[in-house]
Structure 1
């Protein structure tokens, strides 16, 4: 069987750059090299694209906080169009061999928000994960919450502000409605970047300023007291759900540091200790959320399970982490799909969707 050429895009101009490098390393190690030729494309923090020609591309690989990839002068660009070879070497002006599929593993802005997906669609390359709409909706916490609420989901009460109406933010008014503590977060960030749990007016004001450093729109949310339950989704038109898992945070909340730096920052209960009825309920809600936000390929859906058995949805992540501590692949392993099999399925889903979408008419003639 002919091996598929898979382009793995990682890094990026995102606050989650280092997380992406961890995810890319794990995906490369899990891919079956008898099935795939891996073509590495690393995007640095300035947005330049580099070709990597070996699998030992990371510096400081033993320290997640200091990870970076080795840069070189082999810069490339993706060229839109119907041409067979879409990746151009900017130095030699030569095209690289055609890729069968792209696996984007850039978390956060410019990778998970529909930007990269739009470019790959223009270049006519199959890619893993949600397309433009599902990516953009899910990345924006304000927009996704509005759609999920309209679909009947319980969501945390919140206020949304932009730079334009920042002067309308009033601590006393908001605290009287949402109570304390409360959460302040950028609308378009992941991995708890820029998120603060605040108890006082001073913390509130500091949290507002920090959140606006990461996005022009922020959310101020009530605290939901409950168990943190996560569920992985896999599929296009007929998605399936994994067994749920539970995050038991040792800090105030499941922060960026606890997720990716401190191995003792949280306990991951996989699978979560839930009865069958609760498992089924979480799985059904996760699939419904996935479909409501127009997701495809994969996503991790995060919930809070209250003591009264009510479920509050927190968010949907369309490019969840693939690090050694990440819930998405771990939940599938617990559900009977190995890491290597998961990669196979995601690539199959990407090619399947591309074939489906390529069949639509592109003119009225």
Structure 2
């Protein structure tokens, strides 16, 4: 059945609301230009599942838990309403970093070593503690929420003072976190569109890592085409496509990775609803191979 009527869900309640609002507006204008009947709905305050049927199509432009946890996708699947991107099971696999990394490890996909903790409240604040033995040897670690985006509550830790400050600075220390080894060399991302990898993008920032400021505040963050010899390019794409299959993703997604000084790749995480502002990573990669923003949007909604 040909898609005619499309609703773009944007906004949400996450730390990435402003990015979602911008993405949603850009997608809305693109769909209008493509000739679709389209409306914008600020989620969740103006969203009511009862107003949708199997004749509708939902373009999910929500970041964070609203659009990536799988809860919305489950509701839409139960109502048999078509929507963009991966189904609820795939989103559940990717949204929780511990779940995602366990799946990666089980399927022999390289990912940085990590430890999962249910809370930071009673956390030992000493890097010499036996708790950290699984990650040794290390110079630096990352502390990350098990479930969140936009680098909120993400800290780089090299000593006990950093650890103490990170725990004290967390917005919500009672939720689950992971401690993850730092693979220090290059940070990159690979967009995947309908089963094919778009050109990898290398991220260079003046920050110590690709944090909130690097993403949304600083003007000097560089998004560069990641040039590789053919054998390494094929290796990178194989890792990303295997990651997509293992997670059960479909349509469009973005795989974030690190490369070490020996040119080995490590999967950090998977984004099932990448940003779609005019300056976001996914459209930038598509543009580099001559795929316009409108063409990209059209491909996303016409996933087979």
What does residue 59 of structure 1 align with? none
- 2:112 is paired with a residue whose SS is coil
- Pick aligned residue for 1:144 from 100, 111, 126: 100
With over 3 angstroms needed to count, the CA separation of the structure-2 counterparts of 1:246 and 1:214, relative to structure 1, is farther
Question: Whose Rg is larger?
Answer: 1
Are the equivalent residues in 2 in contact too, given 1:3–1:35 (CA < 8 A)? no
- 2:290 is paired with a residue whose SS is coil
Are the equivalent residues in 2 in contact too, given 1:113–1:139 (CA < 8 A)? yes
What does residue 183 of structure 2 align with? 224
Are the equivalent residues in 2 in contact too, given 1:3–1:34 (CA < 8 A)? no
With over 3 angstroms needed to count, the CA separation of the structure-2 counterparts of 1:34 and 1:160, relative to structure 1, is closer
* Alpha-carbon separation, structure 1, partners of 2:168 and 2:70: 26
What does residue 222 of structure 2 align with? 267
Once the 2 structures are TM-superposed, how far is the Cα of residue 273 of structure 1 from its aligned partner? 2.2
Residue 12 (structure 2) pairs with residue 7 (structure 1)? no
Q: Greater relative contact order (Cα 8 A, min sep 6): structure 1 or 2?
A: 2
- Listed as ranges, the matches of 1:19-168 within 5 Å are 19-43=19-43, 47-49=44-46, 76-79=47-50, 85-86=51-52, 100-163=56-119, 166-167=122-123
Tell me how many residue pairs correspond in the alignment: 300
With over 3 angstroms needed to count, the CA separation of the structure-2 counterparts of 1:212 and 1:276, relative to structure 1, is same
Residue 278 (structure 2) pairs with residue 319 (structure 1)? no
Are the equivalent residues in 1 in contact too, given 2:32–2:38 (CA < 8 A)? no
Unpaired stretches in structure 2, ≥5 consecutive residues:
none
* Alpha-carbon separation, structure 1, partners of 2:71 and 2:94: 13
* Alpha-carbon separation, structure 1, partners of 2:26 and 2:173: 27
**TM-score of the two chains, using structure 1 as the length reference:** 0.77
* Alpha-carbon separation, structure 2, partners of 1:38 and 1:341: 17
* Alpha-carbon separation, structure 1, partners of 2:79 and 2:185: 44
With over 3 angstroms needed to count, the CA separation of the structure-2 counterparts of 1:3 and 1:218, relative to structure 1, is closer
With over 3 angstroms needed to count, the CA separation of the structure-2 counterparts of 1:231 and 1:167, relative to structure 1, is closer
Are the equivalent residues in 2 in contact too, given 1:184–1:218 (CA < 8 A)? yes
Unpaired stretches in structure 1, ≥5 consecutive residues:
50-75, 80-84, 88-97, 353-365
- 1:243 is paired with a residue whose SS is coil
* Alpha-carbon separation, structure 2, partners of 1:157 and 1:181: 12
What does residue 286 of structure 2 align with? 332
> Residue by residue, what CA displacement relative to the aligned partner does 1:175-205 show, whole Å, maximum 9, x if unpaired?
8825232110101111212111122212212
> Residue by residue, what CA displacement relative to the aligned partner does 1:263-310 show, whole Å, maximum 9, x if unpaired?
22x1110x2122222222211111111111111111111111222121
What does residue 307 of structure 1 align with? 261
With over 3 angstroms needed to count, the CA separation of the structure-2 counterparts of 1:178 and 1:126, relative to structure 1, is farther
